[in-house]
Amino acid sequence: MPILSGKARLAGVVGWPVAHSRSPRLHGFWLERYAIDGAYVPLAVAPADFARAIGGLVGCGFAGLNVTLPHKEAAFALCDEVAPSARRAGAVNTLIFRDRRVYGSNTDGAGFLAHLRAEGVDPAAGPALLIGAGGAARAIASALLEAGCAVSLTARRQEAAARLAAALPGLAILPWAARAAALADHALVVNTTQAGMSGNPPLALDLAHAPASLVVTDIVYVPLETPLLCAARAAGLRAVGGLGMLLHQAAPGFAAWFGVDPTVDEALYRFVADDLLRPDPAASACA
C-alpha cells in the first residue's frame, strides 16, 4: 500500500454517479508504475453541488480532475480558460488547477485518434461515418475533421444531428434510414452512442453490404466485445473496441497533474480489462 507524504499530488474523477468509473484503476496503475507520490480518487458530486465542490478542491490544492457525466458542460462553464479542443467539443472532460485558476480541455477526440493510430488505422485514410449526435460524437467528429478526414453523421434524432452540423462546419448529415447503405461509401464507422452497452439494446446496423475494407469502431467498452464488434468480426471486418480510447484520453491529464507522460501499453490494457471482466468472466456479447 503506497504511503503518501505531505507533498503528495492529488487528482481524481468527478461524476454523478461515479462508482462505475475505471479511471481510478488506470491512474492508480500509472501512479504505482512510476512510483509517484500522489493519489487519484473518485468523487461523487451531485449537479447542484458541482461548482461549490470544484472551488473547494481548488482551495484544497488538488492538481485537477477528470470530469464525467453529467458535469462536462458545467465544467466548461466554470473554467477560467478552455483549450480549443474543449471549444470544438462544447464540453470539458479534463480540468487543470493552477494558481487558483481552472483550465479545461477535452481529450476524448485526441484519445480516439491515438487509439486508432495505435491499432494501425490512419484516421485520415478515408471517409468516416459517425452514429449518434451526443457529446462524444461532437468530440470525435471535430478531431477527425481536424485530422483531415471527411466526416458524415447519422442519428435517430435528426434535430440533434442538425445542431451538431451547425456547430461543426464540414460535417455532413445522412438520414438515419440510410445508415446501412452509406457504409459502402466509408472507410470507418464509429458508434458513439450507448447502444450495445451492458443493459442497453444493441446498435441496429446491418453490415451485410459493408465493404471488406471497412473498419468498425465502438466507443463502448462495457462489454469489451459489443454486439457491433462481434458482428463486424463475424463479417470479416476489422473491429476496434472502446477501451483503448479511455486509456489514451487519460494520458494528457495524468501528465499535467503528476508530471510524467505515461505509456499506454498492453499491461495497462489487461489491468483495466481484467476489472471489466471480473463480475462475470464468462460474459461476452459474442456468446
Under DSSP, the state recorded for 150 is -
Name every residue whose Cβ is closer than 8 Å to that of residue 1 and which is 6 or more positions away in sequence.
Answer: none
- Could you identify the residue written with the cell 468472466? 281
CB 237 within 8 A of CB 215: yes
Residue 146 and residue 154: Cα distance in Å, rounded? Answer: 19
DSSP letters for 23-51: HHHHHHHHHHHTT-SEEEEEEE--GGGHH
Q: How far, in whole angstroms, is CA 286 from its chain's centroid?
A: 23
Q: How far apart are CA 44 and CA 25, in angstroms?
A: 16
72 is catalytic: yes
Rounded Cα distance, 287 and 285, in Å: 6
Give CA–CA dist 181/135, Å, rounded.
25
Q: Grid coordinates representing 32?
A: 504505482
Q: From the candidates 22, 72, 115, 248, which is the catalytic residue?
A: 72
Give the type of residue at 83.
A
> Catalytic site residues?
72
